[in-house]
Structure 1
Amino acid sequence: MAEAPRRRSQKKASDPTVSTQKHYCCRCGTAYSRKKGFFPVSHSPMYRGSGYLPFCVECVDEMYDQYVQELGNAKEAMRRMCMKMDLYWSESIYTIVERSAGTNSRVRNYIGKTNIVRYIDKTFDDTIKEEVAAGGGAGYALPVVQNEELPTEDDTPTDQAIIDFWGAGFQHDFYMELKRRYDNWTGGEEKAKNLQPAERALYQQICMQEAIISRAAAAGDPTDKAVNTLNNLLGSMNLKPAQRKENADVELDKMPLGVGIQKWEYSRPLPETPKENRDIRGVIKNITTWYLGHACKMVGLKNSYCKAYEDAMEELRVKRPEYDEEDDDSMLSDIFNGSSGADGEE
């Protein structure tokens, strides 16, 4: 293996708020202001104190390339890297990496796959135990791992409609993750049908950025740019918590009370009141009779409110008694006859 390169110049952090503590790569000696994004994540007991490998991502790529040149076999080079860095070696993981090979680093992609839940607690010691149990020995030759099933999720065919919606080139599990995130954001397929094309495109980008951030964090890659992009997308749709609260306050401040009541009635109307519970205390009748009816009477309007007011007033008016002629004569005669009789008796 070629000698390690000379120590490079240290990288200084431009942000004054960043801690002055330096993290050095044990191979090239380059200093970094932080480990996240510059050193691969490791769950090996050897590096449990820091949670990262002591080699920077650039040195990891260089070591892998050197092993590929020396051994002439990419698979053996990946296994040798696992042995050197105490990573779990598995044919399944390597097959997945080869299938999804692209512009990203193969070795960093492999390290990211070893950090998923299925392999997170395994190291190269587990690889040796599995090889011994399978009868392959613990040498440097390529092991023949028997009875190891490849993940069936990557072999599952993806519906063509999903591929057309998200675009071609992804694995089945990635398509399923995007679909789950999209359903979670939109509330399901039925509600997603009512979205406008612009809203649908923004939700697609949000789900894509969330999936990218999740996988980049598992692989120990930087996520700053993806997080900024996600925040911009959330801001475009006014989905940030601060935006939603601010918009709600402004809307309430500028909305008249009647408009607000009308909006609530259209969006969340009250259920219809049963007939036996309608206006039990007569509040509606009193308001329509003594307020609306009296106001209509004052301005001279002739309508149902005015008639109700007049009918109610008619019931409360005091009526003077009226007598016809016969009654009046009888009353007077009774009065006079009664008084004359009284005088004659005296």
Structure 2
Amino acid sequence: MIDRYSLLRPWLFCLDPEKAHNLTLSNLDRAQRWGLLDHLVTKSIHDPQILCGIEFPNPVGLAAGLDKDGKHIDALAALGFGFLEIGTVTPKPQPGNPKPRMFRLTEAQAIINRMGFNNEGVEACVARVRRSQFWQSGGVLGMNIGKNASTPIEEGSRDYILAMEAVYEIASYITVNISSPNTQNLRALQGEEMLRELLSSLDEARKRLSDQYGVRKPLFLKIAPDLDPHDINLIADLLLEFGMDAVIATNTTISREAVQGMEFSSEAGGLSGAPMRAASNIVIKALNARLGNRLPIIGVGGILSGSDARQKIMAGASLVQLYSGLIYRGPDLVNKCAKALRQPE
């Protein structure tokens, strides 16, 4: 949007973060319906990348969390993303955590959220995906799935399988989110015993769904940045053992080391934005060292410039995703990152 966003941002930042988020998306929808986005947004970069049998029009994607319910697919697609990831969706609708649950740490160009997988349920989301022009025209759309807060962690596999069954037909790929800090005990699924059980269950379910639909959909795993080297190696080995197709690194962090003393820094939830950049890159490098070329990595966390996106690729990522950077830099960040990553012709 050239630099129009810099004029709007001070006004948006006067609003409650969640209200500003919803208002921005609803206005994007209006602009897209009225045909205005074509005139406001720089033309999408064409830089095809093939990953997991999918051709991504360019390597810059939307991270899960911004459009949890698939309500804004066509408007977001018009911003020039090579792919979109929708969700996290759960089998049953749930309201998420009490408000307020999103906080800006403007000084650090960061956000803390404890949304808690608020969504209207997977079936409602799938219906919206089917109605979207982006999906109908063959756009690359990932579906990010999670478990309901009311489901005991010991029964979490059941929720992931239910969600996978619901999204399987419409998803370009499916991301299994076990790394949000905002659902109680969810990150316990990253431990060896529970992760092995989950991945085994998902592998069996995908075999069944592949036979049913005649196509094997790629399965990605999204992990946390708050892992030690042993845990990273363990997860990498299990991804290979159970035939996962890619890993997304990383989700938000529970660490506050980079924002100590700032307003809202003591709020519970996951920290994203610029302070996440280094932590995410460390995990990507560690995964790359363990996996080599055997499994692709999608890098997310702290991308606020084209240079930040390049750092992710240099660390070992094949694709990148944006979220918090859009809040601070605006929609033009998509094009800047895609240009920075464009391969010479």
Please tell me the TM-score bracket, short chain as reference: under 0.3
Larger Rg: 1
Relative to its length, the structure with more helix (as a share) is 1
Structure with more relative contact order (C-alpha pairs < 8 Å, separation 6 or more): 2
Relative to its length, the structure with more strand (as a share) is 2
Q: What TM-score results when the alignment is normalised by the length of structure 2? A: 0.23
Q: What TM-score results when the alignment is normalised by the length of structure 1? A: 0.23
